[in-house]
Structures are given as C-alpha cells and as structure tokens.
Chain A
Amino acid sequence: MSIDLWYAMIGGLLFALAFGAFMAHTHLLRRLLAFNIMGTGCFLLLVGLSQHGRGPDPVPQALVLTGIVVAVASTALALVLLRRWFAATGQTTLPEDTHA
C-alpha cells in the first residue's frame, strides 16, 4: 500500500471520527473543533487520493489551500457568533440542544 493511500485512509478515519464528535457534542466550541478536524481529514483525503505517481498534482493542492482559507474564515465567523452568544446568554450550547 502506497504512502499516499495511507494519507487518504487516515484522512477518512479523521473525518469519520470528527463527524461522530460533531454529532455527539452539544458544546459549541467542541463542535467547532470537530468541524476543523473533519476539514483536515477531508484535505488529507483530497491530497492523498489524488497522487497518481506522476509527480505532484497542482490541482488538489490548490483546492486544499482554498479549502483551508474557507475553513479559517468560517471558524472565525463561528467564533465571533459564539462569543456573542456566550456574552448575551452565558450559554455554550444552542437552546434547542440543551434538553436533547
């Protein structure tokens, strides 16, 4: 098994684990972390699967770079909202999730 496929498999594993965490937790910060790990898993998979032994393929790298930028921006927005929510209500979970 090639090293690239290893990356991809680990990426898939990370994605699955983090997805489980995303669904299981209600604490917003934990969900946000889970999202970031899912993202990382996805990027690993993208880079790992797309190596065809013909040298580095620029496309997945461009994709991953864009993806990382998007993920960082999303995380920042989520953090702003989360802090606002916490400041306004003292809660770290969404209202519908607290009694779930």
Chain B
Amino acid sequence: MSGAALPIWVLASSLLPAMIIFLLPEQTRALRTSVNLAAAVLKIVLVALMTWRVAQGQLTEVRFEMFPGVDFVLRADALACLFAGLSALLWFTTTVYAIGYLEGAPNRSRFFGFFSMCVASTMGIALAGNLITFLLFYELLTLSTYPLVVHRGTAKALAAGRVYLTYTIGGGAVLLLGVALLYGVAGDVEFQPNGALGGVSEDAWPLLRIVFGVMIAGLGVKAALIPLHGWLPRAMVAPAPVSALLHAVAVVKAGAFGIVRLVYDVYGVDLARQLSVLLPLTIAASATIVWGSLRALWQDDLKRRLAYSTISQVSYIALGVSLFGPIGTVGALVHLLHQGIMKVTLFYCAGNYAETLGVHKISELDGAGKRMPLTSAAFTIGAFGMIGVPPLAGFVSKWYLGLGALDAELPWVLVVLVISSVLNAAYFLPIIVRLWFVPRSEPWPEEQPLTGRWETSRWLLFPTVATAFFTVAAGVLASFPFSPLQWAILIARREYLP
C-alpha cells in the first residue's frame, strides 16, 4: 500500500463497512457491532498514519479525471488532517454510544449503514482537494444524513426531515452555482495555501465578491448562520447519537469547514482582505453568536437548548476565520475541534438522561447529579468548557479568538465574545445548579432499572466520560506536540508564512 493513496483508504474504511452493514440482516447484532468498531479503529489508525505523513511534509494525494476538465482530487493537508482527525475520533466514540443507544431498536442495519456513509462523506469533505470534490461530498452528506434525521419514522421526524432537506438541498444548489461561477472565472479551483485565485485579474473582482457571497450563503445553510439556521433546532427529533454527530462533526462542521477552506485555500486571506468581503462575514458571525445564545436561554427542552448553543458556538469558527490574521486563524481552527469534543459530550449526556431517566426537559433535571454522577460530571465539564473556564478546551479557543480580535483591531468583537460568554454561563449554569444542588422531589419520568455497577449502560457511559476527558486534556495539554492547538498553529504558519 503506497502512502500517497492513504486518502482513498481513509474514505474506503467507512464506505465499505457501510455497504457491508447495509447487507447484514437485522438480527446479526454481534457481527454488525464488530464491523462497526473494527472500521472505526482502523480509521483512527489510518488517519493517524496520514497525519504523520503530512507532518513530515510528504505529498499525500489521489486524483483522476471525472469528465473533461474536471478532476476528482483527494489530498491530505494539515487542515484536512485536523478535520479528519476530529471525525475519526468522534466517530469511534459515537459508534460505541449508538450501539448502546439503539439496543433493541428496529432498523439498526439501515441506521449504521447511513451512519458510516455520513462519516465517509465527512472524511471526503475533509480530504477534498478541489471545490468540485468538496461539493460532491457535501451533497453526499445531505443524502446520507436525511435517513438518520427521519430514522424514527414519526410524523414529527418526517416533517423535520422535510425542513432539513429543503434547507440543505437548496443550500447545495446555491453552492453549486457559486462553484460553477468560480470555475468559469478560474477553471478547476484546487485548494492551496494562500488561495488559488491569485492570478485572477482585477476586472473579475466584482464577480469574485458576488461569488463569495453566493458560496457563503450555500455553506451557511449547513453552518447554520442566521438566517439560514431554521432546520437545526427541528432536526433535534433525530436519535441522540445522530444529533451529537450532526452538531459536533458532520453537518454543521462541514459548513464551517467549507467556510475555512473558502477563505484560506480558495480566495486566500490577502485577496479576501483586498476584496473586503470579510467584514460582512464577521458581522454575520457575531450576530449569529449573540442571537443563538439568546434563543438558547428560553429553551426548556435540553436538546433544543444545546441546538441553539451549537448555532452560536459554530459561528465562532466563522468569526475567527473572518478576523484575518494568524491568531484569529488559530482560534477558529482550534475551536473547530474543541467545540466538536465539548458539544458531543453534552449531547451524549442529554441522551443518557433521556435514556436512563426519561428526562428531556431542563426543568425535570433536579438532582440528577446524585443519581448519575459521572454523566453529570461530564456535562459540567462540557458546559464549563463552552463557557470558557480555564483550563478547559473552550478557554483556549476563546483566548485565541479574543487575541485575534485585538490583533485585527476590531475591539467590538471582543465585546461580542464577552457577551456570548456571559450568555453561555446564563444558560448553562442553571442546568448545573439543578443537577447538583436542587434536591429531587418527585420520581423520574421513566427510570430504567439499574442493571450493572454503573449508573447507566456502559456503552452510553464510557464515550461520555472519554470525550469529557478529551475536553480537559485538550485544554491542559495544549502545549504538547500534536495537540489541537499546536496543529492549528502549524496550519496558520503554513497559511501565513509560505
């Protein structure tokens, strides 16, 4: 196996299992579980190998011609490794979690098949080497997540699926228009540090501005920038592992990652600054951050509060990107990873409460800390991380974003960050207070009997604890090599110092 072909293997390590799982009969639980876990572990190994190669600076690329003038390109660069690493890690924990969560539920083969396809699409998005390949996997992601959103088959789920599709297919069409326009100007656009549009003459600048707007609109649907976020709270009807994956890695992140690629590797920061297209993005991201946090305050449903929190938190990435400057870049990239780890923890916890105690609403969580201490501790860590308490992961990203704002001489962005952190605290702290300090006065809505020595199924608990541990580790160990922060600094260095 040649190392340059690693991207294909990374992709295949979730596409092939998807095909195998589709074909497995419903009742072959043990075999399906083994295939799932083996593939997830294999993927982590492959991504690690790939990251090693990239750190060494070796070219890791696969390409062939799809049709005249258009190539299919998979290329591992540092940014790709960042996103692929996040996906591989969280896919593993989420697979474990989903196996426990769907214990005894119908249609598991279908679920895990599309689950794997969803991860394959995310990998493709991470590794795409040009805009068309990116678009290809971006659309594949839409198709493979739809069955997951409507998995329960209830009227509510189907209605949510419809909204989801309307937004994402529409967004895909807008993105296609943008990509096609750009192709008309600059040919087959391949991602490269400092942008691929350097050679475009100044006559085309007005068009490039329009294209930037069109593409941000197309990507903004998945990234849930306001006013394109309407699908996200509704998609909460999906099973908890799906929500976790959608929020932490797959859909929302795909949009955010697309924005990162667009600014850095298509336009390039210099051109983007000359076109002055970044300030509108800063404003849109800031508005989304504040507005999402405000909406989160009023939600009593735990998953919906988390959903609005995602809308707010993912826009930190767009914000960091739009700040233009190496420090803002580091903040954005590191938040891409940190937000994923923290948010996935919170969603696992929400799922644990729902599965174990039948609790869906925040007002019903009183005293859950005593009944489920580990889950509640994990939730607390995730929430503190989101607020930005040192030394957790969220602190690191907010610190760099703040520095980046000062560096970019946009002090009002600092105000946005502070307001957002206050709001984060305002909607997370009451939950934590309820968990630990408000005594329980009535029985749980639907408590499952305790079956082992743990507070809930091991399959549910271990991933939760693991990601909570990552949240701490990413913050505490931020200065170690290959930590998210160091990797983000590596990317920023390659971006700004060619």
Decide if A and B touch, CB cutoff 8 A. no
